[in-house]
Structure 1
Amino acid sequence: MSENAQARITLHPDFRIGDVDRRVFGSFVEHLGRAVYTGIYEPGHPTADAEGFRGDVASLTRELGVSMVRYPGGNFVSNYVWEDGVGPARDRKPFIDLAWRTIEPNTVGTDEFLQWAEREGIEPMMAVNLGTRGVAAAAALVEYCNGEAGSRWADLRIANGRTEPYGVHLWCLGNEMDGPWQIGHKDAHEYGKLAAEAGKAMKLVDPSIALVACGSSSMQMDTFGEWERIVLSHTFDVVDHISMHAYYEELGGDRASFLGSGTAMDTFIRRVVASVDAVAAQRRSDKTVTISFDEWNVWYLETRFVGEQNLPLQRDAPRIIEDVYSGLDAVVVGDLLVTLLNHADRVPVACLAQLVNVIAPIMTEPGGPAWRQPTFYPFATTARLARGTALDVRVTSPTTTTARHGEVPLVTAAATWDTAEVDDGTPGGDAGALALFLVNRSAEPVDVEIDHPGVAVTLTGGVQVVADHEPAVEGPEHAAGVAASCVRELTAAQLIEGGAGRPEVAGRTVLTLAPESWTAIHGAATRA
């Protein structure tokens, strides 16, 4: 009998949460630091295309599996005049971005971003300025992007060289309007009324669009819960989603709490769902407002970013918020992805913030290379494997007490089953591609018994990321070294080698999870 801690997972294709929406693997490009300039866009770079966008970044973005990108902010959008960012670039005037105190050159704007997204096969998610602007500007931007010829703003788009509408479907009604840091910050009633009117006008321009109301910027906001109730009391009939934002970091060496961040995210989602459904119940409505978790990541906000605030006015895409990630950070990102999959029924949209350079899985050097951070690997693997239906897996696990989140399970798990295709590429039916995502938050190995009664499971391989204890050091060589030490490709034999000392039996598979690890397993499941 193994001396390792024991956990048990039960899965069956009949126990389902909901379909995995590909938009849950979204990301975010804000005019912040080097996310745009020397990030996705750098004319003169050896890999740049004819429009000035970096080909090496585009290639890594495709490898990452990003399905959707939110733009142009973020805090940036609350002072943005979109009309100044269209038309010939030579005629555009720089302006002071009040959010990040940077001179914005206005070289990249709506058309440049949307055409980049279109070339890369990425769905755009646009945000409108409800901080310093309002209803008319928001409706005009929808008309510019989606309108047919014969109206003012659509004709301006055509004059700027784009004949066909972009067909942008998903729109954010401002950004973090509950936050005192936001330019144009409003209370819940002020914002709710403005968002309702802007959303009404936007849908009159294009009834096919979907709208995201601003939810709380974090669960720690004093207005959390009440903000959602009041905002939805005004916007319920016009919006489709409400946003959530959350960032996680290791504080004061509290590794256990950091590894338990997925539990905090789970609690946040459940509380927002409860708030949303309470509004629906009060209105006696069958409408389901879902969640756009359009900012999430590991961000060392208190321990690293604090020194970058209140900087003098900056130019030339300053290097700010460029967190360098470790294997530990990658394990936590993998656990947060597990949490999102386990809420597939209510979280169809999510954005890892951000895509390049700014707290990002991809880093670049101006004129030089682009490289993967350790957090790249769990995201890319999950985006590749998590398809079809999210299964309602039941996890029985030992727990540990954390300072910030109370009791958290040592093992978390999510699973997906895709009957559209089995391993040989043929349609499934009673068979399907299986993906299982497992996290061991413990500093010791854990044996996991996976019960799958009535289902034959064949494991074909996987990817594992284990935490490292190396302090973060910037640079592609460091990132490659961390990846080599903490990212492992696993064969089926390695996954079940020894089975924790127990033989395999029908309907049961036994694995041993490495300490502080995230593991993705792929294979097939067939009803027996």
Structure 2
Amino acid sequence: MKTAKCIIDKDYSIAEIDPKLYGSFIEHLGRAVYSGIYEPSHKTADEQGFRQDVMELVDDLAVPVVRYPGGNFVSGYNWTDGIGPVKDRPKRLDYAWLSIESNKIGIDEFVDWCKKVGTEPMAAVNLGTGAPQDAGYMMEYCNHPAGTYWSDLRIKNGHKEPHNIKVWCLGNEMDGPWQTCGLTAEDYGKKAREAAKIMKWIDPSIELVACGSASPWMPTYPEWDRIVLEHTYEQVDYISLHRYYENEGCIEDFLASFADMNDFIKTVAATADYVKAKVRSKKVMKLSFDEWNVWYIKRQTRFPWTEAPAILEDQYSLLDALVFGGMLCTLLNNCDRVRMACLAQLVNVIAPIFTEKDGRVLKQSIYYPFQQVSLYGRGTALKTLTQSEKFSTPLYGEVPTVQTAAIYHKEEGRITLFALNCDMQEDAQFFIDLRSFGSVKMTEHIIMDGPDLFAKNTFDKPDTVIPRSATIVTGNQSFTTILPKLSWNVFHFASIPEVVKTE
């Protein structure tokens, strides 16, 4: 049996984790909105038409922020189409996804939905066909209290109190030729800067996200990021990162996605730090990884000019969940710079939650690691010193077989350790060293694994790929346990209070 070792020291911290690291994304794309979060005819629909069965699963994920309304969709979207009486809202052609948008859901309804599921909206403004002043009007509508045309219109539309949306995206993937009215880095940087100025004049308390490269495979990466930040460094608070992974036939490469994701983050952070030095700023630019997931891009089909077509509806396997867990570890291990992230997406479209129209709701395999890290990944991220064998990958070279991330919940005296074992042949004897914490005990070990890497949850068999409880091993400051081959693991430890002896 192979061996691996992980040393965790409570004083070796990375950063306090911002809960926004566990954000997600709802775009007007496919069935994400219509028959996803919104379906008035469904038996669980509330008075506004929102599916309560979906809301329950979203609530269980404890998602703190949800990006909306796009995505590629936003670059051709007029936000005013989605306000006012629903019967008067126009139907529009959506250029991004060759669909018809009914506009039955807009920013007001989305804010209402966010309140119901206990999350905050992260709004995106249109910097494709839209102008900087349009972004200002949307900001005024959403965040200005009263007494102006747009704020009074919000009140007339049934929302007396301002929405107070605190995080805003300045467009989406504006370097992409697929984007409606895509721009060069120079042109986008200037446009984003002017929109940012207007928006922060209206509400100085907001945070803004500038578009980084749509992918590290873009020919302009990372020059795009440099140029955009040189134009916007003092106006914005984040630069965005987007990255998707898929199994293209080499499982080793796919399992090593976490390593490539780490390199991507380091490169963008270095680019931002270069600009910081160049513009003589004292501000450290934060990163927003506001699109990430497993996505089998090449399999998608478009259905031109229909409402809510069933597109991008990936069905996730155990293998996908393992890769997904590895990426979560990478986000945690870079939480000093990646202060916000959005799993793309939340419902139906490349999502952990999947619905039948007028029917059931399903937790996909990736739901479970996302839920575990969202619930237990709150606190201080600690550096883990992990020793394991490496495996060879054609794309990424030699990669550690075991990927880990650790969280210290100081107030509760708890430690959580996440571990992915990528070994395809053997289990690993795993030694965990927690001596800096004093006396501790293992309270839980949860595993996701199985004999079939390609097993998936279905509506008829929803529990095919789910976590299982493993044997808790005894120990005090160190523990020796087993990481099954090809497994995702969650360990919980609790401090044992010292007994004070009295005379």
Assess if the C-alpha contact under 8 Å between 2:211 and 2:240 holds in 1: yes
In the other structure, the counterpart of 1:261 is 257
Counterpart in the other structure of 2:34: 37
Match of 1:281 in 2: 277
Contact 1:21/1:348, CA 8 A, preserved across alignment: yes
Q: How far apart are 1:472 and its partner, in Å?
A: 5.9
Specify the alignment match of 2:428 in structure 1: 446
What's 1:394 paired with?
Answer: 385
Query: Closer, same or farther in 2 for the Cα pair 1:290/1:526, shift >3 Å?
Result: farther
The change in CA–CA distance for 1:433 and 1:161 in structure 2 (over 3 A counts) is: same
CA apart distance, 1:296: 0.4
Asked whether 1:329 is paired with 2:306, we answer: no
Q: Go from structure 1 to structure 2 and tell me whether the alpha carbon gap of 1:119 and 1:474 turns closer, same or farther (over 3 Å shift).
A: closer
CA offset digits 1:212-257 (Å, max 9, x no partner): 00001111111111111100000001000010000011112x1111
Native 8 Å contact 2:455 2:465 kept in 1: no
Query: 2: CA distance between counterparts of 1:224 and 1:239?
Result: 19
2:56 pairs, out of 55, 59, 66, with 59
Maintained 8 Å contact 1:440/1:515: yes
TM-score by length of 1: 0.92
1:429 corresponds to:
none
User: 2:501 is matched with which residue?
Assistant: none
Q: Distance in 1 between matches of 2:450 and 2:148?
A: 56
Q: Partner of 2:333 in structure 1?
A: 342
Question: Are residues 1:381 and 2:372 paired?
Answer: yes
Give, in whole Å, the separation in 1 of the partners of 2:450 and 2:70: 31
Per the alignment, residue 482 of structure 1 pairs with 465
Change over 3 Å in CA distance of 1:48–1:448 after alignment to 2: same
Structure 2: how far apart are the matches of 1:85 and 1:105? Answer: 9
Q: Aligned pair 1:205/2:205, yes or no? A: no
What's the TM-score, normalizing by structure 2?
0.96
What pairs up with 1:211-290 in 2 under 5 angstroms?
A: 211-252=208-249, 254-290=250-286
Q: Which moved more, 1:106-115 or 1:275-284?
A: 275-284
Q: How do residues 295-306 of structure 1 correspond to structure 2 at under 5 angstroms?
A: 295-302=291-298, 304-305=299-300
Identify the range of structure 1 (162-171 vs 381-390) with the bigger mean alpha-carbon deviation. 381-390
Q: How big is the shift at 1:271?
A: 0.6
* C-alpha contact 2:364 2:457 (8 A) present in aligned 1: no
* Cα distance change, pair 414–474 in 1 and its aligned pair in 2 (3 A): closer
- Given residue 230 of structure 2, which amino acid in structure 1 is its aligned partner? S
CA distance in 2, matches of 1:312, 1:415: 44
CA contact (8 A) 1:385 1:522 kept: no
1:198 partner letter: A
- Measured after TM superposition, the shift of residue 474 of structure 1 is 7.5
Give 1:46 shift. Answer: 0.7
Q: For residues 176 and 474 of structure 1, what CA distance do their matches in structure 2 show?
A: 32
Q: Distance in 2 between matches of 1:282 and 1:259?
A: 37
Give the equivalent residue in structure 2 for 1:501.
none
Tell me how far 1:369 sits from its aligned partner. 0.7
Of 108, 112, 120, 1:115 maps to: 112
CA contact 1:330–1:467 (8 Å) conserved in 2: no
Deviations 1:255-279 (A, max 9, x none): 1111111001111001111100111
Contact 1:328 1:467 in 2 (8 A): no
Contact 2:319–2:454 under 8 Å retained in 1: no
Q: What CA distance in whole angstroms lies between the structure 1 residues aligned with 2:341 and 2:497?
A: 32
Shift in CA distance, 336/166, structure 1 to aligned 2, threshold 3 Å: same
For 2:264, the aligned partner's letter is F
Give the partner amino acid of 2:429.
Answer: D
Equivalent residue in structure 1 for 2:489, among 519, 524, 528: 519
Match of residue 290 from structure 2:
294
SS of corresponding position for 1:450: strand
3-state secondary structure, aligned to 1:392: strand
Kept in 1, the 8 Å contact 2:457–2:463? The answer is no
Output the amino acid matched with 1:524.
Answer: A
User: In 2, Cα distance between the equivalents of 1:75 and 1:84?
Assistant: 17
Residue 96 (structure 2) pairs with residue 99 (structure 1): yes
Instruction: Using the TM superposition, give the Cα deviation of residue 160 of structure 1 relative to its aligned residue in structure 2, in angstroms.
Output: 0.5
Aligned-partner Cα distance in 1 for 2:255–2:213? 23
Over 4 Å off, 4+ runs: 470-474
Give, in angstroms, the shift of residue 201 of structure 1.
0.6
Out of 350, 358, 367, the residue aligned to residue 359 of structure 1 is 350
Distance 1:384 1:473 in 2: 23
CA distance in 2, matches of 1:462, 1:49: 38
In structure 2, do the counterparts of structure 1 residues 216 and 467 end up closer, same or farther at CA, with 3 Å as the change threshold? farther
Cα distance, 1:63 vs structure 2: 1.1
> 2:303·2:309 contact (CA, 8 Å) conserved in 1?
no
2:452 equivalent to 1:461: no
CA–CA distance in 1 between the matches of 2:81 and 2:116? 23
**Aligned partners of 1:73, 1:387: CA distance in 2, in Å?**
27
Structure 1 residue 470: Cα displacement: 5.5
CA distance in 2, matches of 1:125, 1:387: 20
Which blocks of at least 5 consecutive residues in structure 2 are unaligned?
Answer: 499-503
1:433 equivalent to 2:433? Answer no
Cα separation, partners in 2 of 1:115 and 1:70, compared to 1, 3 Å = same
CA contact (8 A) 1:326 1:468 kept: no
Are positions 1:496 and 2:496 aligned together?
no
